């Protein structure tokens, strides 16, 4: 039921959002443009202006925001299970900050290569994300191999602050005026630079993650009861954990490379979904993906329409929307416990 409800709301939101902007386009015209591009109708009545605005300018941004929200929410749910820490997410564990160091280095330094800048940023983001993750786990893991919640969070905060200092140093010392301004704007997180190439890449990554995570739902359920329980079920705990962690780092790196770091989605959305449907990953993961996509697409719409002419960071909207909802749900659960 929740899947049908959330998917319906997401599709309806995407259609509405495609018509929202400085030039308003009616829902019927939006549907005609999309249907014509998908060769479902002839679309003789579709004007070139509507086609340009809806399909070329807004559709990549909407598709990319949906994919990023789904990826960050899935990453948060997986990290919270693997670390046994309810506060774990790509942002809090320093993965986003590490990815930012790599991406900003490419932006500011201007590395010459036969590869495109987008591919270079993705590779650099992945290297930075994995390096930050390894450093956090090395600092937090005890001799027994356990990951204490408090120590993991402290290690993530420390690595995140270190990476943030590195990003600021690169921007202020190495970068020229134009590149520094561009890098600084990028660190706030935005979907403005998305085109069809980057949107399709993000969507393909989301499809793969959406297929892989639920397929391993039972394995993640076993991790939720601890390493001993997982090992007793025949799971190779250390290799499987590292495979998931590296996969999460890769997903985060792809998101950061294209849209910058956007916090709070991976932390809040899994908690909200868990309060609604319970902790089983067969339901938690797909609903987290849908909820995260809905949060980011709506937040991006608010970011570009609340103050026309100014660029509000998407992360500000996601925090402003997600935090009160989480507080209400937690208080409601506390009253019933």
Q: CA geometry: angle at 128 spanning 124 and 132, to 5°?
A: 175
Please state which of the ranges 125-139, 260-274, 308-322 shows the lowest mean pLDDT.
308-322
Between 36 and 245, the more confident residue is 36
How far is the C-alpha of 7 from the C-alpha of 84, rounded, in Å?
29
The first and second tokens of residue 27, run together, are: 């829902």
For the chain, the helix, strand and coil percentages under 3-state DSSP, each to the nearest 5: 75, 0, 25
CB atoms inside a 10 Å sphere around CB 302: 17
Q: How confident is the model at residue 293 (pLDDT cuts 50, 70, 90)?
A: very high
Tokens 């960071």 belong to residue: 313
- Amino acid 104: pLDDT: 85
**Which tens digit of pLDDT belongs to each residue from 16-74?**
999 998 888 999 999 999 999 998 888 778 889 999 999 999 999 999 999 999 999 99
Judge contact between 240 and 219, C-beta under 8 A: yes
Q: What is the pLDDT of residues 137-153, one digit of tens each?
A: 888 877 766 667 678 77
**Tens-digit pLDDT profile for residues 187-205:** 777 888 788 988 999 999 9
Strands (E), the chain: none
Question: What is 73-91 written as a DSSP string?
Answer: HHHHHHHHHHHT-TT--TT
pLDDT at 145: 66
- Per-residue model confidence (pLDDT) at position 68: 95
204 contact partners, CB below 8 Å, separation of at least 6: none
Greater model confidence, 244 or 59: 59
- Token pair listed for 124: 């650099």
Task: Give pLDDT tens digits for 250-290.
Answer: 888 888 888 888 888 988 899 889 888 888 999 999 999 99
From the list 84, 43, 89, 55, the residue with the least C-alpha distance to 288 is 89
> Which of these, 299, 318, 258, 269, lies nearest to 17 by C-alpha position?
299
Average pLDDT along the chain: 85
Taking the C-alpha atoms of residue 254 and residue 245, their distance in angstroms, rounded to an integer, is 14
**Quick one: pLDDT at residue 333?**
66
Check residue 260 and give left, alpha or beta (phi > 0: left; psi -120 to 50: alpha): left
- Integer distance in angstroms from the first to the last C-alpha of the chain? 25
d(CA 80, CA 274): 11
Which pLDDT tens digit goes with each residue over 78-91?
Answer: 988 888 877 788 88
Q: Which ranges of 84-176 does DSSP label H, i.e. alpha helix? A: 95-109, 117-140, 149-169
Q: Which two tokens stand for residue 148?
A: 């204490």
Mean pLDDT score, 307-330? 78
């Amino acid at each position: 039921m929740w899947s049908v409800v959330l998917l319906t709301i997401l599709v309806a939101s995407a259609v509405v959002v495609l018509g929202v902007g400085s030039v308003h386009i009616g829902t019927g015209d939006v549907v005609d443009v999309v249907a014509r591009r998908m060769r479902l109708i002839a679309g003789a009545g579709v004007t070139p202006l509507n086609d340009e605005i809806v399909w070329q300018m807004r559709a990549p941004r909407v598709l990319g925001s949906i994919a990023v929200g789904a990826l960050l929410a899935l990453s948060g749910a997986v990290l919270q299970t693997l670390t046994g820490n309810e506060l774990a997410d790509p942002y809090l564990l320093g993965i986003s900050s590490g990815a930012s160091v790599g991406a900003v280095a490419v932006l500011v330094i201007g590395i010459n290569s036969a590869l495109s800048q987008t591919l270079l940023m993705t590779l650099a983001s992945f290297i930075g994300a994995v390096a930050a993750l390894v450093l956090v786990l090395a600092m937090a893991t005890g001799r027994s191999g356990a990951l204490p919640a408090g120590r993991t969070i402290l290690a993530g905060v420390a690595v995140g602050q270190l990476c943030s200092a590195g990003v600021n140093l690169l921007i202020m010392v190495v970068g020229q005026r134009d590149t520094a301004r561009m890098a600084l704007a990028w660190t706030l997180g935005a979907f403005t630079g998305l085109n069809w190439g980057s949107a399709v890449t993000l969507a393909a990554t989301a499809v793969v993650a959406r297929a892989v995570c639920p397929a391993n739902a039972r394995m993640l359920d076993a991790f939720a009861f601890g390493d001993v329980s997982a090992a007793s079920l025949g799971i190779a705990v250390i290799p499987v954990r590292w495979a998931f962690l590296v996969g999460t780092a890769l997903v985060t790196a792809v998101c950061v490379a294209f849209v910058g770091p956007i916090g709070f989605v991976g932390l809040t959305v899994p908690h909200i979904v868990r309060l609604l449907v319970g902790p089983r990953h067969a339901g938690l993961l797909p609903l987290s993906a849908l909820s995260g996509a809905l949060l980011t697409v709506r937040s991006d719409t608010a970011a570009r329409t609340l103050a026309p002419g100014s660029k509000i960071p998407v992360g500000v909207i996601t925090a402003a929307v997600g935090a009160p909802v989480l507080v209400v749900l937690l208080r409601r659960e506390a009253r019933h416990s």
